[in-house]
């Protein structure tokens, strides 16, 4: 599934005192099976941007082409688009409403027109993916803990089996173990089903670990769109807009500056470790 | 979609109306609402219109923005007009077919009622547009202070009101977010008949109520953590004090009410039945 965004502009509350340009001239293209990270400061337009991708917000100007088809042309089937592009909002646990977890997860698949059994099957598969224990399936979603609720809510979108899965800070407010767990499952899902995942995050470490491509937003503009490694070489510019590179990037740059023979390209802890060991072995050998 | 509801919201701008003491605005709004029912003639409406338009101009709130506030009461407006139009029986019959009869009195009532309602909403929404919720409650608290003598919990009531007002935009935003989240999950909130639509709202209303309760309990906790214990012995950082412009505003208001009362009653001017 191809999504092409052309000259996208969006203005909030146009014509009032609250008018604010949220997106300025955004251009990018998404192919199939990518893992894309979107990063940016609070208010940089990340959330606004991703809501355009499944037609929840209509752009003030510009175009979005999904598989070559303009989604703003008359009579476009948004329901169909939303079946293909799943969006997990920030704090998705706030949208749970059913009596049981299982019923809540079935909501999406049922809206897609699946039968009761098919929906149940999808729901169970999705819940298993998010790692929520089976004993909670029949529990009320409001009795679960914060992390469990989050998993149930994410499962609600996964059960729709979207081709493009967009997650808006899915791990905000979770403990580190829960965070790694959820991201690991999503990365696994992405590889296995070859779907596209778009992950909005504040954590450079998470992005460096999972994303193959990184989009950096600043004040409604698209600043960088490249592989995380390349983007992180601009770490001074990232700092200027209130962001930073992963911590290991700084360590590697420091080491390099002090004459230690490492390349500063590493962005994850394991890469950095491997790089340092290699450098140590080299100095040891000589 | 839901962001378009503007009634009851503050509109930041720098105008004389924004700077007025909230008590002035409260009392004047009250007087204005009463004044709308003091007359029933074209000259009266002309004076009221001139007054309303000049106040709106003074407030620097865009006219189109104020008009948006009328949208929620459109239904009420239509019902009022229809009832007045067909159920009033006085004066000449202007039109009659099957069970529908329109009399001169009915038409007059319908038009007057509609204009009054619109002016009522425009005038009172202008107050909330130019006054922050905090100022508003301060004003109410001070105005009703004397009632404390008869053991009315004035401060608490004012606090409840200010919290309620503060929550309107928050809950609107929350509704917007939940609606979007459910639409993203394939919920259809727009098509179908009334019963289907009502049913489709369940996935929005349940999370909304839960979030309202959660926010309320969080707020209560935060207030207690800061040792809030009601109004006793509480002082203000910026106590309300009348300034020259406030007395001037009272003067203008008294002038307007007197003018609209006498012109509305005693200036004979009629067009057709109005």
CB-nearest partner of B62 from A16, A56, A160? A16
**How many angstroms separate the CA of residue B185 from the nearest CA in chain A?**
5
DSSP H or E segment with residue A88: strand A85-88
Is-contact A12 A19, C-beta < 8 A?
yes
Residue A211 domain-assigned (yes or no): yes
Task: Say whether B184 and A97 touch across the interface (CB within 8 A).
Answer: no
**pLDDT the model gives residue B237:** 84
pLDDT tens-digit series, residues B135-144: 888 898 899 9
- Establish if A276 belongs to a structural domain: yes
**pLDDT tens digits for range B217-267:** 999 999 999 999 887 778 888 888 999 999 999 999 999 999 999 998 888
Q: Is residue A126 part of a domain?
A: no
Into how many domains does chain A fold? Answer: 2
Say how many residues make up chain B: 274
For residue B7, the model assigns a pLDDT of 56
Does any domain span residue A48?
yes
Global ipTM: 0.86
What's the gap in Å between the CA of A45 and the closest CA on chain B? 16
Residue A66 lies in a domain: yes
Domain-located, residue A137: no
Q: At what angle do helices A176-193 and A146-158 cross, to 10 degrees?
A: 10
Whether A167 and A283 map to the same domain: the answer is no
Residue B13 and residue A17: Cβ atoms within 8 Å?
Answer: yes
pTM over 0.80: no
Instruction: Work out the angle at residue A13's Cα, subtended by the Cα atoms of residues A198 and B188, and round it to the nearest 5 degrees.
Output: 55
How are strands ordered across the β-sheet holding A20-30? A20-30, A3-12, A61-66, A69-70
Cβ pair A94:B188 closer than 8 A: no
Q: Choose the mutation target among A10, A87, A95, A146 for the interface with B, i.e. most B CBs under 10 Å.
A: A95
How far is A131 from chain B, CA to nearest CA, in Å?
A: 20
Do A54 and A167 belong together in one domain? yes
- Tell me the residue range of the domain where A211 lies: 1-76+163-174+193-233
- Compute φ and ψ for B91, nearest 5 degrees: 80, -165
Cβ–Cβ < 8 Å for A147, A94? no
Say if residue A28 is in the same domain as residue A71.
yes
Asked if residue A213 has pLDDT above 80, the reply is: yes
Report the alpha-carbon distance of residue A149 to residue A140 in Å, rounded: 10
Q: What is the CATH number of the domain that holds A23?
A: 3.40.50.300
Which one of A9-23, A242-256, B244-258 scores highest in mean pLDDT? Answer: B244-258
In angstroms, how far is CA A147 from the centroid of its own chain? 18
Between CA B144 and CA B27 the distance in angstroms is: 12
Of A94, A107, A142, the CB nearest to B185: A107
Q: Which residues in chain B have their CB less than 8 angstroms from residue A15's CB?
A: 62, 64-65
Domain boundaries, chain B: 2-154+237-266
Quote the minimal CA–CA distance from A172 to chain B in Å: 17
Query: Residue A125 domain-assigned?
Result: no
**Concatenated DSSP letters for A121-177?**
HHHHHHHHHHT--GGGTTS-GGGS-HHHHHHHHHHHHHTT--SEEEEESTTTT--HH
pLDDT tens for each residue of B71-127 = 888 888 999 999 988 888 887 787 777 778 888 888 888 999 999 999 999 998 899
- So what's the pLDDT on residue B1? 45
Which residues of chain B are at the A interface, by a Cβ-Cβ cutoff of 8 Å? 3, 11-13, 62, 64-65, 174, 177-178, 180-188, 202-204, 206-207, 210-211
Q: What is the mean pLDDT of chain A?
A: 89
Which residues 76-135 of A are in CB contact (within 8 Å) with B?
A: 79, 82-83, 86-87, 89, 92, 94-97, 107-108, 111-112
The overall average pLDDT reported for chain B is: 88
Cβ atoms within 10 Å, residue B38: 14
Residue carrying structure tokens 């997990």: A88
pLDDT of residue B8: 62
Residue B9 reports pLDDT greater than 80: no
**Are residues A211 and A258 located together in one domain of the fold?**
no
Position B6 scores a pLDDT of 58
For residue A137, pLDDT over 90 is answered with: yes
Residue of B nearest to A158 (CA): B185
Query: A41 and A7, same structural domain?
Result: yes
A59 and A170 share one domain: yes
Least confident stretch, A278-282, B8-12, B66-70, B114-118: B8-12
């Amino acid at each position: 599934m191809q999504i092409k965004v052309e000259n996208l502009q969006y203005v909030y509350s146009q014509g009032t005192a609250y008018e604010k340009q949220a997106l300025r001239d955004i251009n990018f293209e998404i192919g199939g099976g990518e893992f894309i990270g979107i990063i940016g400061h609070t208010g940089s337009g990340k959330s606004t941007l991703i809501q355009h991708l499944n037609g929840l917000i209509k752009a003030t100007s510009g175009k979005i082409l999904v598989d070559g088809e303009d989604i703003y042309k008359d009579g476009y089937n948004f329901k169909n688009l939303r079946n293909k592009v799943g969006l997990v909002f920030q704090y998705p646990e706030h949208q749970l409403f059913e009596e049981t977890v299982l019923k809540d997860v079935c909501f999406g698949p049922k809206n897609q027109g699946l039968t009761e059994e098919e929906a149940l099957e999808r729901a169970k598969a999705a819940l298993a993916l998010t790692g929520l224990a089976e004993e909670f399936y029949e529990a009320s979603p409001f009795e679960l803990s914060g992390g469990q609720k989050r998993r149930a809510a994410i499962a609600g979108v996964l059960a729709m089996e979207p081709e493009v899965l967009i997650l808006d800070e899915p791990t905000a407010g979770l403990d580190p173990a829960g965070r790694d767990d959820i991201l690991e499952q999503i990365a696994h899902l992405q590889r296995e089903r070859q779907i596209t995942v778009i992950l909005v995050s504040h954590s450079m470490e998470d992005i460096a670990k999972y994303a193959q491509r990184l989009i950096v937003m600043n004040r409604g503009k698209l600043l960088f769109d490249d592989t995380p490694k390349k983007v992180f070489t601009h770490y001074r510019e990232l700092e200027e807009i209130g962001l930073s590179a992963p911590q290991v990037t700084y360590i590697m740059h420091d080491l390099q500056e002090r004459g230690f023979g490492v390349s500063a390209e590493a962005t994850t802890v394991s890469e950095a470790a491997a790089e340092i060991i290699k450098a140590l072995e080299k100095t040891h050998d000589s | 979609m839901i962001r378009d509801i503007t009634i009851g919201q503050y509109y930041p701008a720098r105008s004389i109306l924004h700077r007025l003491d909230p008590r002035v605005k409260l009392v004047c709004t009250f007087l204005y609402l009463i004044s709308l029912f003091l007359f029933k003639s074209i000259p009266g409406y002309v004076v009221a219109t001139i007054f309303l338009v000049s106040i709106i101009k003074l407030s620097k709130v865009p006219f189109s923005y104020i008009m948006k506030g009328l949208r929620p009461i459109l239904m009420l407006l239509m019902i009022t007009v229809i009832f007045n139009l067909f159920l009033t029986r006085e004066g000449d019959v202007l039109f009659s077919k099957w069970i529908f009869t329109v009399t001169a009195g009915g038409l007059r009532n319908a038009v007057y009622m509609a204009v009054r309602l619109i002016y009522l909403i425009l005038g009172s929404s202008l107050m909330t547009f130019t006054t922050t919720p905090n100022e508003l409650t301060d004003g109410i608290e001070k105005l009703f202070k004397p009632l404390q003598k008869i053991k009315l919990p004035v401060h608490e009531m004012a606090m409840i009101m200010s919290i309620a007002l503060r929550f309107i935009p928050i809950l609107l935003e929350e509704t917007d977010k939940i609606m979007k989240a459910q639409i993203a999950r394939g919920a259809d909130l727009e098509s179908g008949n009334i019963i289907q639509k009502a049913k489709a709202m369940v996935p929005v209303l349940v999370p909304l109520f839960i979030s309202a309760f959660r926010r309320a309990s969080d707020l209560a906790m935060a207030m207690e953590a800061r040792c809030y214990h009601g109004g006793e012995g509480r002082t203000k950082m910026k106590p309300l004090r009348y300034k020259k412009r406030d007395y001037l505003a009272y003067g203008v208001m008294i002038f307007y009410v007197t003018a609209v009362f006498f012109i509305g009653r005693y200036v004979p001017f009629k067009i057709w039945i109005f």
